[in-house]
Every structure is written in structure tokens, then in C-alpha cells.
Amino acid sequence: MKRLFAAASVLAMTAAAAASAEELNLYNWGNYTSPELLEKFEKETGIKVIVTDFDSNDTALAKVKAGGHGFDLVVPSAAYVPIWIKEGLLEEARPDQMENFKNMDPAWVDVDWDPGRHYTVPWQWGTTGVVVNTKYYDGDIDTSAIFLDPPEELKGKINVVPEMGDVMGLAVMYYGGEPCTGDKEILKKVHAGLIEAKKSWLGMDYGNIEKFAKEDLWAGVNWNGSTFRMRLENPAIHYGYPKEGFVVWMDSVAMLKDATNPEAAKKFMNFIMEPENAALISQFARYANGIKGSEAFMPEDMKTAREINIPAELKDKGRFLPTCEPDVQKLYTRIWTDLQK
């Protein structure tokens, strides 16, 4: 899922890699890893963590599959974890036998993509919904109509993150289908709807926190935590949960089969299941984390934030995106290409 154009941020953290101490290589989404967390880990264990960024699940998968990457840990999204396992890229690190496993929220233990958590530890979870600057539009924001059938006020100022899975998922649900549906009737509506809606969009871009804050953009598809960070900079920005269905996702930390430092990797996995440490992750990227008791260590503003706490009446509208069948995936790619032609 998420954020920032990779190249810009890759520079920042990888460059500083000092070779002396014990090292752990974490391959994670850009602008997603709390520097404080890494500092604390280094202080407690003496292990230096080096972060390399990726900007999409597919990039990460392709790079690790190619080999010679030198990473120990990777943070794929839920739908991708089974692919990573199937491709034989992950080691069974058995987080479920680790000391801090008791802190994991039971709701996140028996997940479809890793039943019983033999491979992965939650990093953060969140939702994909819509963002609206309410200074320009004060109608209902809990709907995908914000970007699929936009109100007049917002036309020409909408940005849709170029994340095929999320956007297709939202659109399919808006037109009455289930994510990854192969139903041509629904896909026809999705295709026509997206193409018509696109005329009102300004961009399809990542890394928009400051563009929204500075009001280059007024509305669009976005992730909850990123929207939270926007709101902290510009209080007029709000996050909406489309009642037609929004996307729920979780990114989890997994250990690679060819990790060079498996012991350190396991230490890190255990480390982030400590509530205090999980809170640091959330405090930085502003997503929830799936560790019980971490709330106590979180900043006050996160406990009540609408971006983090899904309103009760909309809770059942959230859906996890499955991995689509290759045939369906092909169809979605075609629609996606057609949309951007």
C-alpha cells in the first residue's frame, strides 16, 4: 500500500550504514519506520537496524525474488503474505512461540494469510478510504462517491493513489461487487465509472501529505494514517470510511529464508510485540498496530482520532482484500491501463 515516491527516501536511511556493529536489514515501506524505535532497539540490543524502502508490494516481491538483496526482514501486506510463503521466500520464525506473543491482540492471531502466526508479526494495520478537505466540501464524506461520482465543489482537485488493488477494490465495492470479483457486468460498470470519474481527478500520485496540507489537493483516495498526518498539519482535512465498503489492510513483519542475521531478526520481531515499542511505530506513522496495551503508550490524540477508530456503524463495511486469481488480476490490469491511457 502506501506512501512516498521511493527514490527520494531510499537515500536518507541506507546511506548511513555503518559496518562496525551487528546489523539487521529491514526492508519496509517508505516513510513508515519510526527512527525512535530503531534507536531504542539499538540501545537495548546493540544491533543497528538499516532500513531500505520500497513503494509497492510488487517491487518488494520482485526484488527479493531476484536474490542478492541482503535483507533480513520484510513487511508485506496481508494479501501478499501467502505469495511470499508459496514462493518459499519466508522462514518460519515462529513468532507464536516468542516471549512477547502474549501481547498480540487475539483478533489478529488467526488471520487468513498466516493462521496462528507462524511467520509474521503485525507491523501496522489501517484502512483505505477517502480524504476530504471540509473547507471546500461539507457534505457526507463516508462514501466512495467522493472520487467516483465527485461533488461539483471538489472536481479538478482530486487525487487517487495509484494503488491498483485498493482503488479497484473500492470501485468494485461501490458498484456492488466483492473485491476480486470476475463478474463482467460489475466490472463493466467499474470500467465506465472510473473512466468517467477520472475526468474530475487532478492526479494519481503517492506521497501527498504536504500537497493536501498546502491545499494543492482537496480530496481523494488515501490511507487513514497518512490522512491523520495531513490533519495534524491542516485541521480542515478529514478521513471518510466509504459505506459502500472500504479496504482494511495489515502489513506484517516476516523473516526471509536467506536472512543473514536470523537471530537479530527474531529479536526484532519479539521487540516490536512489546506494547511500548509497538506504540512507537504507531506514533510515527499514525496507524494502529495490533498489540494489546500499546494504546497506553500512544499520544492522546491517537486514542480518539477518527482515522484510527472506525465508527461503530461503519465497522462491518471494511473488507480485507484477498489475492486475486491470475485471470481476474489480468482483467483488473487491463481496466487499470485503460483508465490511464
Partner 1 sequence: MPETPAPASATADAPVPGGLIRGELERELEQTDNRTRWLLSLPAILIILFFAAAPLLVMVVYSFLTPGDYGNVKWIFSTEGWVNVILQRDIFDDTLIWADAHLSIFWRSVKLSIVTTLLTLIFGVPTAWFVATRPKGKREFWLFLVTVPFWTNLLVRTIAIQELIRAEGVINNLLMALHIVDQPIQMMFTDFAIGFGMTYVYLPLMVLPVYAAVDKLDFRLVEAAHDLYAGRWTAFRRVILPMIKPGIIAGSILVFIPCLGAYVTPRVLGGGKNLMFGNLIELQFGAGRNWPLGAALSFTLMAIVMVALIYYVRLTSREEKTDV
What does residue 75 show for φ and ψ, rounded to 5 degrees? -125, 70
Residue 331 found at the interface with partner 1 (CB under 8 A): yes
Residues 86-105 that bind partner 1 (CB under 8 A): 86-87
Counting residues that bind partner 1 (by CB under 8 A) gives 43
Residue 116's contacts (CB-CB under 8 Å, 6 or more residues apart) are 96, 109, 110
Minimum CB distance to partner 1, residue 232 (Å): 18
Q: Are 159 and 220 in contact (CB under 8 A)?
A: yes
Q: HEC profile for 67-112?
A: CCCCCCEECCEHHHHHHHHHCCCECCCCHHHCHHHHHECHHHCEEC
Minimum CB distance to partner 1, residue 281 (Å): 26
Closest alpha carbon to 248 in 108, 110, 146? 108
Residue 159 found at the interface with partner 1 (CB under 8 A): yes
Minimum CB distance to partner 1, residue 71 (Å): 17
Residue 136 found at the interface with partner 1 (CB under 8 A): no
Q: Which residues pair with 121 in a beta bridge?
A: 253
For partner 1, the closer of residues 86 and 303 by Cβ is 86
Closest alpha carbon to 250 in 95, 105, 142, 145? 105
Q: Going residue by residue from 52 to 71, which x/- string records binding to partner 1, judged by CB under 8 A?
A: ----x-xx-xx--x------
Q: Going residue by residue from 285 to 324, which x/- string records binding to partner 1, judged by CB under 8 A?
A: ----------------------------------------
Residues 175-204 that bind partner 1 (CB under 8 A): 184, 187-188, 191, 198, 201-204
Which cell goes with 106?
487475539
Distances (CA, A) of 134 to 138, 147, 231, 238, 310: 5, 14, 11, 7, 19
Q: Are 103 and 284 in contact (CB under 8 A)?
A: no
Q: Going residue by residue from 206 to 235, which x/- string records binding to partner 1, judged by CB under 8 A?
A: -----x--xxx-------------------
User: What residues line the site for partner 1 (CB under 8 A)?
Assistant: 5, 7-8, 56, 58-59, 61-62, 65, 83, 86-87, 156, 159, 162, 164-165, 184, 187-188, 191, 198, 201-205, 211, 214-216, 326, 329-331, 333-338, 340-341
